[in-house]
């Protein structure tokens, strides 16, 4: 009979917070020195669902009480590297299936002292994704030439690169975070590819590497969030109870990695009736005091409410 391997289920959390308009994710450091997403085993003895298990070990390891949580995807490719996670008594041939979750919090709380974790900007892992100050020079100076060399003589590859990275006049589509990362992995341009293949690292370092396939899981979370804020009001899970419209816009811009047209954004926001003024003013805005607003939650719990229009600011 063919040899069998143990099947273990782990839970990975893409935990997102926004601070001063900058999106951050909570990452841990593994014994190897690589960074990772918070990761823990599913505990079927003490928790009857994945969701409860996730909330339980996150609470124990970080002191966080998770609010908004949704399942992203199940990552179970046969050849994925077993994550360096706390899986008790895991046999050496264990195959780990990781169920990824997206968790949103309105406050970047400090983590417990006994848990080696920190908040980092997600653009440290995906520097080509931040277009708030214009198209990153990294794309045309480093990424595009290497992708064109990789795709030379192969039209399907060239077309994938053109669409994913907005090359040769193609429009940049911000939701394609996962597609771009997977293309760079396939082309051998991220450190994880060389590590997984046992090869020397490429001569260019495109963003910070993560253990196992955690950067792929993180890219999945970014793609989901960038898409979802346009059709569900999940962005309000990332802002404090009271906020100015400028703070809300900076948060949306941080998530999308784009600069928005302020007047059009506010006109579209007004039509949704998602926010209501409090009559209170925020004096520390650096100029004329701005009114504080709150999210007007839909009676259904928010799921029937619309998302936000994201009108881009035209290039100067």
Concatenated DSSP letters of 156-198? HHHHHHHHHHT-TTPPP-TTTHHHHHHHHHHTT-SHHHHHHHT
How far is the C-alpha of 297 from the C-alpha of 233, rounded, in Å? 9
Q: Which residues pair with 7 in a beta bridge?
A: 95
Residue 140: which pLDDT band, with cuts at 50, 70 and 90?
very high
Residue 108 confidence (pLDDT): 79
CA atoms within 13 A on the CB side of 166: 15
Query: Is the pTM here over 0.75, yes or no?
Result: yes
Alpha helices in the chain (DSSP H): 50-62, 137-138, 144-151, 155-165, 177-186, 191-197, 214-228, 245-256, 262-272
Closest CA to 307 of 259, 248, 258, 262: 248
Q: Which tens digits make up the pLDDT trace of 75-105?
A: 766 444 444 443 444 555 667 788 889 999 9
d(CA 292, CA 275): 10
Q: Among residues 80, 86, 70, which one has the least CA distance to residue 10? A: 86
> All domains of the chain, ordered by start, with CATH?
7-121 (3.90.79.10), 127-207 (no CATH), 240-295 (1.10.10.10)
Q: Which two tokens stand for residue 135?
A: 């198209």
**pLDDT over threshold 90, residue 209:** yes
Which of these ranges, 106-110, 117-121, 160-164, has the smallest mean pLDDT?
Answer: 106-110
**177-189 pLDDT tens trace:** 999 999 999 999 9
* 16, 104 Cβ separation under 8 angstroms: yes
Q: Give the pLDDT confidence score for residue 86 in this predicted structure.
A: 39
265 in Cβ contact with 310 (< 8 Å):
yes
Instruction: For 109-134, write each residue's pLDDT tens digit.
Output: 776 665 678 899 999 999 999 999 99
Give the residue from 11, 156, 122 showing the smallest Cα distance to 72: 11
Torsions phi, psi of 81, nearest 5?
-70, 135
């Amino acid at each position: 009979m063919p040899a069998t391997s143990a099947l273990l289920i782990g839970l990975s959390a893409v935990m997102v917070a926004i601070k001063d308009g900058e999106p951050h994710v909570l990452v841990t450091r593994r014994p190897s020195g690589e960074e990772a997403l918070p990761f823990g085993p599913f505990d079927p003895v003490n928790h009857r669902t994945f969701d409860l298990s996730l909330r339980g070990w996150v609470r124990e390891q970080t002191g966080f009480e998770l609010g908004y949580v949704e399942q992203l995807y199940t990552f179970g490719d046969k050849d994925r590297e077993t994550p360096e996670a706390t899986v008790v008594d895991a046999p050496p041939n264990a195959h780990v299936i990781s169920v990824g979750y997206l968790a949103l919090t309105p406050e970047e709380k400090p983590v417990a002292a006994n848990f080696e974790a920190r908040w980092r900007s997600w653009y440290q892992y995906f520097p080509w994704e931040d277009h708030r100050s214009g198209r990153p020079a990294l794309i045309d100076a480093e990424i595009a030439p290497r992708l064109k060399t990789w795709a030379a003589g192969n039209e399907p590859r060239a077309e994938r690169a053109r669409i994913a990275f907005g090359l040769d006049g193609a429009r940049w589509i911000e939701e394609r975070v996962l597609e771009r990362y997977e293309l760079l992995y396939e082309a051998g341009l991220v450190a994880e590819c060389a590590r997984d293949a046992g090869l020397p690292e490429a001569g260019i370092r495109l963003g910070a590497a993560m253990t196992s396939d955690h950067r792929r899981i993180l890219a999945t979370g970014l793609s989901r969030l960038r898409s979802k804020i346009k059709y569900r009001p999940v962005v309000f899970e990332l802002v404090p109870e009271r906020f100015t419209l400028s703070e809300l816009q900076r948060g949306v811009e941080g998530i999308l990695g784009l600069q928005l047209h302020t007047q059009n954004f506010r006109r579209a926001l007004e039509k949704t009736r998602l926010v209501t003024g409090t009559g209170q003013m925020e004096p520390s805005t650096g100029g004329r005091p701005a009114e504080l607003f709150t999210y007007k939650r839909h009676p259904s719990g928010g799921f029937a409410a619309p998302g936000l229009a994201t009108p881009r600011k035209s290039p100067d």
